[in-house]
Amino acid sequence: MIYLDHAATSLPRRPEAIAAATAAMEMASPGRGRHGPQEAARALVEEARASVAALGGGGVVCFTPGATHALNQAILGWRPRPRRVGLGPLLHNAALRPARALGAPTFDLPADPDGRIALDAEWPPDLDLLVVTHGSNVSGLLQPVEALLERAARLGAALIVDAAQTAGTVPLPEAHAVAFSAHKGLAAIPGAGALVLRPEVQLEPLVRGGVGFDSAADDVPDALPARLESGTANLPGIAALGAAARVAEPWDWEAAGRALREAVRRADLSPIGAGALPVVSFAVEGWPPLVLEELLDRSFGIVTRAGLHCAPRAHAYLGSGHEGALRVSAGRGTPDSDLAELTRALRALRRKAT
């Protein structure tokens, strides 16, 4: 199997993450007493928290069931409720849907044809919350988050960043809130993620329940991270995330992105939009994306991803229509031989289409 669907889930998973999750499955729950097994579990969670914090972002690490939950918590729980929300052009539905459900007026942040937000464009004066994608899961484009944060600060606005495609690949950006999951660039296991918040941010919790202490109080604590971590922790998921974060090492993802784009271009196909991450979407004339995905899998053993990729806003902005496109995405271990096979398969399918 040639696996080119790392933007959905990275495979193989890190052995350190699997080992940590397996060990945690035999541990007690943290924060539910003072006996030895509970203390060991609590220490594991805090060790994982420190490891995730070392990825960047400069805030308090709150564990979540994944990036979708983290984004919903940040956006729907934002207080005070924003007067107007600025939306990036390449948002995933995990950010777009809660932003619309918030009920506040929205503003589409102006951008260039590839979706890169224009920093010199005019923004409305009542814009006080921005929601943007760090790295597009359609084109691989990276937004200039540091410059966006500076522009937002001049306006008095806060910034929420979806870092699902970049965590574990690119250092986490600094923002008021940064959300990501464990199973993509970090190659841990699904069902875990984090929301990294500036200490001064106080969100309205979406979930309220036990936090392991202060049980007589009528509401959850004010202090982070306990305020956003009600219920029994997903200890295996947190352990795996922490282990993956500890062993995450820099890699030449820019070279991987260039190689992936060149593999598509060698088949005389054009990537949709411009990006740097090893995430490329494209269309092949004569083949619907879903049919192309199936043919690549069944006939060539190449795993890709077709459709709208839960990002119809990005596809609409980039002009890929209602069907979306075929997406290929490489990981840190993808060999050049896999990309050569991709080019060969795409050339063969193009010949069959004509």
Predicted confidence band at 14 (pLDDT cuts at 50, 70, 90)?
very high
CA-CA distance, 169 to 166, in Å (whole number)? 5
Domain ranges of the chain: 2-9+251-353
Would you tell me how many other CB atoms lie within 10 Å of the CB of residue 56? 16
In whole numbers, what is the pLDDT of the chain averaged over residues? 95
> Which residue, among 126, 143, 165, 147, has the nearest Cα to 88 in the 3D structure?
143
Backbone angles phi, psi at 279, to 5 degrees: -135, 120
What are 187-238's pLDDT values in tens digits? Answer: 999 999 999 999 999 899 999 998 878 888 888 889 999 999 999 999 999 9
CA-CA distance, 350 to 354, in Å (whole number)? 7
CA-CA distance, 202 to 73, in Å (whole number)? 11
Could you please report the per-residue DSSP string of 61-83?
A: EEEESSHHHHHHHHHHT-SSPPS
Q: What is the pTM of this model?
A: 0.96
**Residue-level pLDDT at 216:** 84
What are 173-187's pLDDT values in tens digits? Answer: 999 999 999 999 999
What are 265-289's pLDDT values in tens digits? Answer: 999 999 999 999 999 999 999 899 9
First to last CA, the chain: 27
> Which residue, among 161, 190, 173, 156, has the nearest Cα to 9 in the 3D structure?
190
**Residue-level pLDDT at 334:** 97
* pLDDT at position 104 over 90: yes
The answer to whether the beta carbons of residues 178 and 166 sit under 8 Å apart is no
What mean pLDDT is predicted for residues 104-130?
96
What are 58-71's pLDDT values in tens digits? Answer: 899 999 999 999 99
What are 72-100's pLDDT values in tens digits? Answer: 999 999 999 999 999 999 999 999 999 99
Would you tell me how many other CB atoms lie within 10 Å of the CB of residue 106? 18
Six token digits for residue 233: 């922790």
Predicted confidence band at 32 (pLDDT cuts at 50, 70, 90)?
low
Residue 60 three-state SS: strand
CATH 3.90.1150.10 fits 2-9+251-353, yes or no: yes
The answer to whether the beta carbons of residues 27 and 200 sit under 8 Å apart is no
CA-CA distance, 142 to 116, in Å (whole number)? 8
Q: With the CA atoms of 346, 348, 353 and 354 taken in that order, what torsion angle do they form, in degrees rounded to the nearest 10?
A: 120
What are 140-181's pLDDT values in tens digits? Answer: 999 999 999 999 999 999 999 999 999 999 999 999 999 999
Residue 116 three-state SS: coil
